[in-house]
Structure 1
């Protein structure tokens, strides 16, 4: 049996739309086994047909690429990453399926080859790269090529996922974005991405509040999320270093000092006072990415 663990990811980090992503220590676990015949998937969503399961369809991409034909497949899925919450659940399934298929076939593909297949399935690498490689990663697609670079973050931070009790589909979050944006907005975002990367690398965490602002997606997607602006205000009221919309949302991510023991309690108390059944989870950066366990 093949056992694989894949971390959650948080993409964009404010201004880094479709280019920045970070892996966090919240995991889905998968087991794969070649059986005599058929397809068995345990732990998938009840609304999902086995043959359409993203883990399985990602496996098929690998089998087609390398010419491997399994007799049958059993997949067991143990999920801690919530679906459609902006924490990279789809990238997690894609990476797991590709790694599981590669291992089942005798590991003919390199990590870079798996990365390329996974990105082709997902359509962009911002979640795929950190899910596979771990850490904080910047990535771009240029025609058929994918380029990425892992960036070291200074010590002293924790991430806090503030997870609403409702999903937001990536499709809807994409549709709300404008076709064109003002030149000034684009320039501001480029400046903020530069400031964000340097702030995280150099430990200038006092600059994060300014660096995490965004013009490209948060103002539009925030309107789809009940309480978005109010929660962002509370994040800073409770002494967070920064806050941003995680991926397509609706999860809002706060960045706090690693020794801050009050933030989570204060957020939970606030949500109780306004009758929001939202979860607050403290997370650390995962530096390893997906791995066979």
Structure 2
């Protein structure tokens, strides 16, 4: 979780400064249809968090601790981000048996809010990783994953945000088990991002409290096929694996145009579209393709479809690297 390069953050906000700690965390797309709350992969949109000691801001006449977000962000989202980040820092320090210091934090994110691409997971992981730098690496990756899962409520976004790549994870109580898979064949992704937002908390309230046994059995079979097909590089098996009966039937009706987009993806299977799934809790719909060429052909044809006014297609790539430290302080920063 460390990289040699440094990142010139917030140059448009007054020029780059020598950062105390800068952490980069990727966006994530979770569930992959049948892998509900268990499967996710990291994609190439990023959140950057810069963390400085309070004494540096005090020297410039600032408050003892503060939280800034670069760019136009709604005030409620700004407050939520601050709460998540500082909770993550406090949890990490508490696990290490230490009190969290006063910090100045700045975030810059390419990850859209409330779109099902792991924006909250990225904030949590950034807080935990930055805190662990200040703790001089006292917490293991397993401890960071356990804390992140507890804060997020499920591991399918935080695990790939922390570890990178495709991750299958299971949480039971405080114990979180995760396996990161290297894919022999990497599919091409096209995210269809609508204007509407769908908060995870609201999306979860749409789900039933119990399922029929037949539904559960079918879900287990699809999830097993999903992971096996990806691990073996047999992408042609994915159309049968993306189907879901646990969450998508209850969420898709609340996303205008979603069911029509699913039908459009299904009609493009002869042309290399392997299917689509609801990314996380939605509302983004992720289409999966056998090749980048098939993706570009679909995107070109979609631009002339009536649904083009409802969704913005955005090509994404899987990334193997999870959270990384781009810059760090000397020893003793947090003392």
One fold, TM greater than 0.5? yes
Q: Does 1:281 align with 2:281?
A: no
Q: Which residue of 2 aligns with 1:176?
A: 206
Deviation at 1:113? 1.4
Q: Distance in 2 between matches of 1:245 and 1:268?
A: 20
Deviation at 1:265? 2.1
Q: Distance in 2 between matches of 1:148 and 1:50?
A: 27
Deviation at 1:32? 0.8
**Kept after mapping to 2: 8 A contact 1:209/1:241:** yes
**Kept after mapping to 2: 8 A contact 1:164/1:278:** yes
Deviation at 1:52? 4.7
Q: Which residue of 2 aligns with 1:263?
A: 298
- Rate the CA distance shift 1:134–1:252 in 2: closer, same or farther, 3 A: same
How many matched pairs? 291
Q: Which runs of 4+ in 1 moved over 4 A?
A: none
Higher mean displacement: 189-198 or 148-157: 148-157
> In the TM superposition, what are the counterparts of 1:54-203 in structure 2 within 5 Å?
54-69=84-99, 71-203=101-233
Deviation at 1:274? 4.1
- Rate the CA distance shift 1:70–1:147 in 2: closer, same or farther, 3 A: closer
Structure 1 gaps of 5+ residues are none
Q: Distance in 2 between matches of 1:50 and 1:104?
A: 23
Correspondent of 2:67 among 41, 56, 62: 41
Note the alpha carbon deviations across 1:120-145, whole angstroms, 9 max, x for none.
Answer: 11111111111100111111123331
Q: Which residue of 1 aligns with 2:30?
A: 11
Paired residue secondary structure (2:283) = coil
Relative to the length of structure 1, the TM-score reads: 0.93
Paired residue secondary structure (1:127) = helix
**Kept after mapping to 2: 8 A contact 1:209/1:242:** yes
Q: Distance in 2 between matches of 1:234 and 1:39?
A: 50
Q: Distance in 1 between matches of 2:226 and 2:94?
A: 40
Relative to the length of structure 2, the TM-score reads: 0.82
Structure 2 gaps of 5+ residues are 1-19, 59-63, 327-335
Deviation at 1:283? 1.2
- Rate the CA distance shift 1:115–1:229 in 2: closer, same or farther, 3 A: same
Deviation at 1:101? 1.2
Q: Which residue of 1 aligns with 2:278?
A: 245
Q: Distance in 2 between matches of 1:49 and 1:99?
A: 20
Note the alpha carbon deviations across 1:80-133, whole angstroms, 9 max, x for none.
Answer: 111111111111000000111111232221211111111111111111111100
Q: Does 1:224 align with 2:257?
A: no
